[in-house]
Structure 1
Amino acid sequence: MRNNHRLRWAAIPLAATLAVVLAGCTQAQLHGYLPGFEEEGETAVTNQTDRIAGLWTTSWIVLLIVGLITWGLIIWTIVVYRRRKGQTGLPVQLRYNMPIEIFYTVVPLILVVGFFAFTVRDQIAIESRYDNPDVTIEVQAKQWAWDFNYVDENVYSPGIQGQLDPDGERGSLIESELPVLVLPVDQTVEIALESRDVIHSFWVIDFLYKKDVIPGKTNYMSVTPERIGTYAGKCAELCGEYHSLMLFNVKVVSQADYDTYIQSLRTAGNVGQLDNEFDRNQNQPGTSAPTAPEGN
């Protein structure tokens, strides 16, 4: 009874200290230093970033607790059962301890099942496609840039790979030359991802989400942008010599600014859709590419 009383009094200052520490954390710290969580009170970048960050940070907290318990038991065993001065021979050998063996079997099983269940739950929510998205975008990945089709508006925005700035520092890019994907804030967006050549990966860093772009297959990404701003994107799959220059920006804007941008594409003559007409893979063996007669 006395031991329980002491433990209770020890837990109070520990809980108070933990609460003070957490209260003083920034948004970046509370979300595991993930991108997109920088300012106090900011809206999440998308409807899924909080979910992704929650899965990440909770997993790490659980793993750190398990690690601390494991390290503590190892250190305790080393200290308590160390060889004392004057002792010789081996310590008493224990062959079986059923309670401990059951504990060491059940706890990891619970952890694995728990991580699996929460991951599947969040993955289903993130991967679910909208029935009737407000905006439909088709992304054509190519070595080494991106083309964006605004399907509902029947306009497109072609892109080129990142251009080095001759007047800037070494490795700096001309920001205005990067492809830009413009999305309206608080609208459901479905992005269809296609590749004209090799495997790429569409990654918007602050969205905490990426998806592979595979030749001959259309992958989908469903998201609702919730914070106006400009967010960096890149290819996250090594795709050739200029992979590091396969960059783009995502601009989340108001509906009025989005409508203005769409009109600017029409004014520029970018009406229609960019398709797979320039797909290099149609000339690969096993496709419908013409073959030369034998002997030629």
Structure 2
Amino acid sequence: MRVNRRLRWVALPLTIASAVALAGCSPTTANGFLPGFDEGGGQATNHTSMIAGLWTTSWIVVLAVGVITWALMGWAAIAYRRRKGQSGLPVQLRYNMPIEMFFTIAPVILVLGFFAFTARDQAILETQYEKPDVCITAIGKQWAWDFQYNGDNCDDPQDPVWTIGVQAQTDAQGNITNEVPELVLPVNKEVTLQLESRDVIHSFWIVDFLYKKDMYPGRENYWSFTPTKEGTFVGKCAELCGQYHSMMLFNVKVVSDSEYQSYIASLKAKGQTGDIDDALDRQQNAPGTGAPAAEGEHNN
């Protein structure tokens, strides 16, 4: 009877673990419940699955280490507990060389493994397209966004067009009452974003794309990717940047190439043409902004 009871206690956690493992076959669970995937497992960008894979694999390894550690702690607490009739301290052991080597080598291997896979994926994420199909300058400002569409070259814009955004406004219930800035991208086209700031440090974050990059005054940052799914995605600033940081929102609309070209044409028709890259920067004389110095003065 006692043997059967013990077997039942062993079978219960195994059954639960098996159910969890089988549930992991769904795309949502397999991707760690992260955003950026549709019900069929389709990803928002060409990098989304890689980022989710690094995330879920890291959690699996960490949880496995945790389970083993907790099991060993539980086993030691039960196997070496004080028994009835015992008194005093148990025999004290020290300098167990095999165990100490294991406790040293195993964490080193884990840390090196995390570093290697992170460095590998980061190198891919930080590789910029040499000749993107689309290059867009995204400019952060307190507390909104400007977007300038430069054709296929941010360094030498060809007939650039732009939109200037305003800060999100909310009513008493916290609902947004105005149109937030919108970034339009063509699906399945190589996109490079040139990230800049007009005032303070911001962070450009498209939630479903599972990546974000900082934006610095007087310095350009870049992010290259290929949107692979049409739809509207939420973007926001991920760096505390002042009183209305939480209102620094925008939307990303991924559309077909024909819709994208129509959108660019509509901006031209509205007269929203020209280079607004540095023209509206708050710190006109800050190093690196390219602002002209007054006569007799020099930018540092």
TM-score range normalised by the length of the shorter chain: 0.7 to 0.9
After superposition, the Cα gap between the structure-2 partners of 1:281 and 1:24, relative to the gap in structure 1 and judged at 3 Å, is closer
Query: Are residues 1:173 and 2:176 paired?
Result: yes
Residue-by-residue CA offset, 1:90-123 (whole Å, 9 max, x unaligned): 1101121111111111110110000000000000
Residue correspondence of structure 1 range 87-236 to structure 2 within 5 A? 87-152=86-151, 153-165=159-171, 170-174=173-177, 177-236=179-238
Letter in 2 for 1:117: A
Give the equivalent residue in structure 2 for 1:61.
60
Give the equivalent residue in structure 1 for 2:298.
none
Shift of 1:27: 2.3
Moved more, 266-275 or 195-204: 266-275
After superposition, the Cα gap between the structure-2 partners of 1:270 and 1:186, relative to the gap in structure 1 and judged at 3 Å, is same
Gaps of 5+ in 1: 1-9, 292-296
Letter in 2 for 1:242: Y
After superposition, the Cα gap between the structure-2 partners of 1:82 and 1:14, relative to the gap in structure 1 and judged at 3 Å, is closer
Distance 2:120 2:286 in 1: 40
Shift of 1:196: 0.8
For the aligned residue pairs, the C-alpha RMSD in angstroms reads 2.5
Distance 2:40 2:218 in 1: 43
Deviating above 2 A after TM superposition, structure 1's stretches of 4 or more consecutive aligned residues are 13-28, 282-285, 287-291
Give the equivalent residue in structure 1 for 2:22.
22
Among the aligned pairs, what percent are the same residue? 59
Verify the 8 A CA contact 1:35 1:205 in the aligned structure 2. Answer: yes
Verify the 8 A CA contact 2:218 2:286 in the aligned structure 1. Answer: no
Give the equivalent residue in structure 2 for 1:31.
31
After superposition, the Cα gap between the structure-2 partners of 1:16 and 1:278, relative to the gap in structure 1 and judged at 3 Å, is closer
Distance 2:99 2:143 in 1: 56
Letter in 2 for 1:170: Q
Shift of 1:65: 0.3
Secondary structure in structure 2 of the residue aligned to 1:29: helix
Give the equivalent residue in structure 2 for 1:7.
none
Give the equivalent residue in structure 1 for 2:40.
41
Verify the 8 A CA contact 2:24 2:30 in the aligned structure 1. Answer: no
Distance 2:16 2:74 in 1: 27
Query: Are residues 1:237 and 2:239 paired?
Result: yes
After superposition, the Cα gap between the structure-2 partners of 1:57 and 1:195, relative to the gap in structure 1 and judged at 3 Å, is same
Which structure's residues are more often helix, by fraction?
Answer: 1
After superposition, the Cα gap between the structure-2 partners of 1:273 and 1:203, relative to the gap in structure 1 and judged at 3 Å, is same
Shift of 1:16: 12
